[in-house]
Amino acid sequence: MQTNKTKITVAYGDGIGPEIMTATLAILNAAGAELEYDVIEVGEKAYLKGHLTGITPESWDTLQRNKIFLKSPITTPQGGGFNSLNVTIRKTLGLFANVRPCKSFSPFVQSHFPKLDLVIVRENEEDLYAGIEHQQTSEVVQCLKLISRPGCENIVRYAFEYARANNRKEVTCMSKDNIMKMTDGMFHRIFDEIAQEYPDIKTRHLIIDIGSALLADRPEGFQVIVTLNLYGDIISDIAAEVAGSVGFGGSSNIGRNFAMFEAIHGSAPDIAGKDLANPSGLLNGACMMLVHLGQNKIAERIQNAWLKTIEDGIHTGDIASADYTKQRVGTQAFAQALIERLGQKPTQFAPVDLGEGKLINIKQPEQHTVNKQLVGVDVFIDWSEDNRNANILGDKITALAQPNMQLKIIDNRGVLVYPNGIKGVFCSNHWRCRFVSADANVEKNTVQTFATIQHADIYQLLQRLTEAGIDCIKTENLYLLDGQRGYSLAQGE
Ligand code: NAD
């Protein structure tokens, strides 16, 4: 029989997962959500069957087919060898946006900020979370921060579209582009570019440190915050904490073709199987899913009944208080109380009005082609000889650079040590040596004339260095892209 219902994938998860999912689905069904469910097994059981990512191949097929996933928390097994299911799902399904609304439900949940109501839109796939780390010397490890232009465009555009669809009037971008001028700089620049397409929305940019401080101190001044993966991870927890309602939080992970919805809390093994858990976090995640599917009216009905239940003093143990709790209930009784209130509106909280369903569609980032010219190479070396005297190293490799390259500078973790380095700078055994073409003329901030080099010049340079016993641990090619310098200048360069 033909039906208008959307088939979604559901996972009951571990710990309190099955209890809160049972309660959530009962509420969705009672509210008339146009949904059908395919249940898959993820988490502990899948890990124990030997699936190191916590999900079976058949479950992948179901996820790919249905495209929408409502997931209860899972327990991540202790010990090495297991991969995070969440990270695997985000990356495999291209879920680039993590959306976390944070709202105060004062006075029923204590918060210093009763008007706090903000949404964090966090980039979900890139940044330091690519997990590309290397130990390069006995003293130095590195983690690669990868930021792509399409990645920035996707997340920034999503934040603006989200703001529009949810009647939010301001989007704040947070980055650290005063220090990371290329990676965070690109994020900020793309934010400014895309903001031009949304003249109805106010914008501002804050450096992440002062942004975090303001978020902790004056969170009521924010509506939508868009930021990079690591900063988003940190400020989401700050915002949830100052809202006072970690247990209420739902979140969505949105991609172009797939989306996953969940509670922000974990599987709470300490209270599992006792009918004590608060199902609100997962329920709020499920309401975000309904809005994503355009079923706004159903989400609105559930949220109003939920607010009414909270203000009627019907609370699970985690939020129970002497002043505001009239009836302390278990997970399923809370769901039942909410179901009885479907159709009612809160009187102390402002009723929720989600308007008509507006599906958020963001356009594909355009592909940019650029003219790339190779003008030099940074060679990173592991060197501990001669009391780590940079002048001895510099003189040695200056000679090895010739005939087709010249040594510009050497730095040690970003501090210039050759030529004319400051005496007494602490040096690790990790050195960055910048070579450019022998006849390049690269001046500060502007490239006036330069000579293109060939990859073969770099190979020959590496060969000379290696034959002289220098341990080259990594190289980074230096490019001009459409004539613009595609690398940061070294200190003192
Ligand atoms: P947790 O969020 O599960 O629990 C922290 C505390 O909050 C516990 O005291 C718990 O009883 C309480 N709590 C959490 N949710 C509650 C609810 N709905 N109602 C009432 N009380 C609630 O965090 P944890 O103890 O650090 O992690 C437990 C497990 O969950 C770990 O294996 C962790 O890896 C996993 N985890 C999974 C996810 C996910 O699947 N998205 C997220 C976070 C943690």
Within this chain, do residues 3 and 81 fall inside the same structural domain, yes or no? yes
Phi, psi of 491 (to 5 degrees): -60, 130
Total number of domains in the chain? 3
Per-residue confidence at 1, pLDDT binned at 50, 70, 90? Answer: low
167-197: string of b/e by CB count within 10 Å (b at 16+)? ebeebbbbbbbeebeebbbbbbebbeebbee
Over 80: is that where the pLDDT of 210 sits? yes
Within this chain, do residues 303 and 217 fall inside the same structural domain, yes or no? no
Question: Is 58 a domain residue?
Answer: yes
* Angstrom distances, CA of residue 32 to CA of 29, 184, 299, 300, 326: 5, 44, 10, 12, 28
pLDDT tens for 226-277 read 999 999 999 998 998 898 877 788 999 999 999 999 999 999 999 999 999 9
pLDDT tens for 379-403 read 999 999 988 999 999 999 999 998 8
Q: DSSP letter at 394? A: H
Atom index in ligand 1 nearest the CA of residue 43 equals 40
Over 90: is that where the pLDDT of 85 sits? no
By alpha-carbon position, which residue is closest to atom 37 of ligand 1? 266
Helix (H) or strand (E) holding 350: none
pLDDT tens for 26-58 read 999 999 999 999 999 999 888 888 888 889 989
For residue 12, the model assigns a pLDDT of: 97
Packing angle, helices 280-292 and 17-30, rounded to 10: 50
Helix (H) or strand (E) holding 170: strand 170-175
The residue with greater pLDDT, 446 or 197, is 197
| Strand boundaries in 105-169, DSSP class E | 117-123, 133-135, 141-143
Range in 80-84, 245-249, 253-257, 331-335 with the lowest mean pLDDT:
80-84
The residue with greater pLDDT, 182 or 90, is 182
Please check whether residue 34 is in contact with residue 68, taking contact to mean a CB–CB distance below 8 angstroms.
Answer: no
CB half-sphere exposure, 59, CA atoms < 13 A: 20
Please check whether residue 153 is in contact with residue 194, taking contact to mean a CB–CB distance below 8 angstroms.
Answer: yes
Within this chain, do residues 209 and 292 fall inside the same structural domain, yes or no? no
Q: What is the C-alpha separation between 409 and 284, in angstroms, rounded?
A: 55
The residue with greater pLDDT, 335 or 491, is 335
Instruction: Return the number of other C-beta atoms located less than 10 Å from residue 92's C-beta.
Output: 15
Within this chain, do residues 333 and 430 fall inside the same structural domain, yes or no? no
For residue 447, the model assigns a pLDDT of: 47
For residue 448, the model assigns a pLDDT of: 46
Sequence-distant (≥ 6) Cβ neighbours of residue 119 within 8 angstroms: 99, 100, 101, 102, 162, 166, 168, 223, 224, 225
By alpha-carbon position, which residue is closest to atom 18 of ligand 1? 278
Last residue of a domain, one of 218, 243, 268: 243
265 Cα: distance to centroid of ligand 1 (angstroms): 5
Question: Is 99 a domain residue?
Answer: no
Within this chain, do residues 166 and 214 fall inside the same structural domain, yes or no? yes
For residue 54, the domain's CATH number is: 3.40.718.10
Q: What is the C-alpha separation between 200 and 16, in angstroms, rounded?
A: 43
Within this chain, do residues 219 and 261 fall inside the same structural domain, yes or no? no
- Rg (alpha carbons) of the chain, rounded to whole number: 27
Identify the residue whose tokens are 């000379």: 464
Which of left, alpha, beta for 175 (phi over 0: left; psi -120 to 50: alpha)? beta
482 Cα: distance to centroid of ligand 1 (angstroms): 50
Closest CA to 133 of 146, 121, 143: 143
By alpha-carbon position, which residue is closest to atom 5 of ligand 1? 268
Last residue of a domain, one of 305, 331, 363: 363
Within this chain, do residues 286 and 339 fall inside the same structural domain, yes or no? yes
40 Cα: distance to centroid of ligand 1 (angstroms): 21
The stretch 124-140 carries a mean pLDDT of: 91
Question: Is 81 a domain residue?
Answer: yes
By alpha-carbon position, which residue is closest to atom 12 of ligand 1? 268
For residue 441, the model assigns a pLDDT of: 56
Per-residue confidence at 80, pLDDT binned at 50, 70, 90? Answer: low
268 Cα: distance to centroid of ligand 1 (angstroms): 4
Q: What is the pTM of this model?
A: 0.90
Within this chain, do residues 411 and 327 fall inside the same structural domain, yes or no? no
Within this chain, do residues 134 and 15 fall inside the same structural domain, yes or no? no
Q: How is residue 153 written in tokens?
A: 């465009």
Q: What is the C-alpha separation between 490 and 475, in angstroms, rounded?
A: 15
Identify the sign of the CA torsion 195, 199, 201, 204: positive
Question: Is 491 a domain residue?
Answer: no
For residue 398, the domain's CATH number is: 3.30.70.1570
For residue 279, the model assigns a pLDDT of: 97
Over 60: is that where the pLDDT of 493 sits? yes
For residue 139, the model assigns a pLDDT of: 95
Q: What is the C-alpha separation between 439 and 448, in angstroms, rounded?
A: 12
Per-residue confidence at 182, pLDDT binned at 50, 70, 90? Answer: very high
Within this chain, do residues 317 and 359 fall inside the same structural domain, yes or no? yes
Within this chain, do residues 258 and 311 fall inside the same structural domain, yes or no? yes
Question: Is 68 a domain residue?
Answer: yes
The stretch 160-178 carries a mean pLDDT of: 95
By alpha-carbon position, which residue is closest to atom 6 of ligand 1? 268
Closest CA to 96 of 69, 120, 122, 70: 122
Q: What is the C-alpha separation between 183 and 143, in angstroms, rounded?
A: 14
Please check whether residue 280 is in contact with residue 306, taking contact to mean a CB–CB distance below 8 angstroms.
Answer: yes
Within this chain, do residues 86 and 149 fall inside the same structural domain, yes or no? no
Surface-to-core class of residue 341, CB atoms within 10 Å of its CB (0-12 exposed, 13-18 middle, 19+ buried): buried
By alpha-carbon position, which residue is closest to atom 24 of ligand 1? 266
Identify residue 63 by its one-letter amino acid code: L
Instruction: Return the number of other C-beta atoms located less than 10 Å from residue 86's C-beta.
Output: 19
pLDDT tens for 416-454 read 999 988 888 889 999 999 999 876 555 554 444 567 889
Please check whether residue 296 is in contact with residue 290, taking contact to mean a CB–CB distance below 8 angstroms.
Answer: yes
76 Cα: distance to centroid of ligand 1 (angstroms): 11
Last residue of a domain, one of 217, 243, 269: 243
Per-residue confidence at 82, pLDDT binned at 50, 70, 90? Answer: confident
Segments forming the whole domain that contains residue 178:
112-243
152 Cα: distance to centroid of ligand 1 (angstroms): 31
Please check whether residue 74 is in contact with residue 42, taking contact to mean a CB–CB distance below 8 angstroms.
Answer: yes
For residue 297, the model assigns a pLDDT of: 94
Residues with a CB atom less than 6 Å from ligand 1: 16, 73-76, 86, 247, 262, 265-271, 277-278, 281, 318
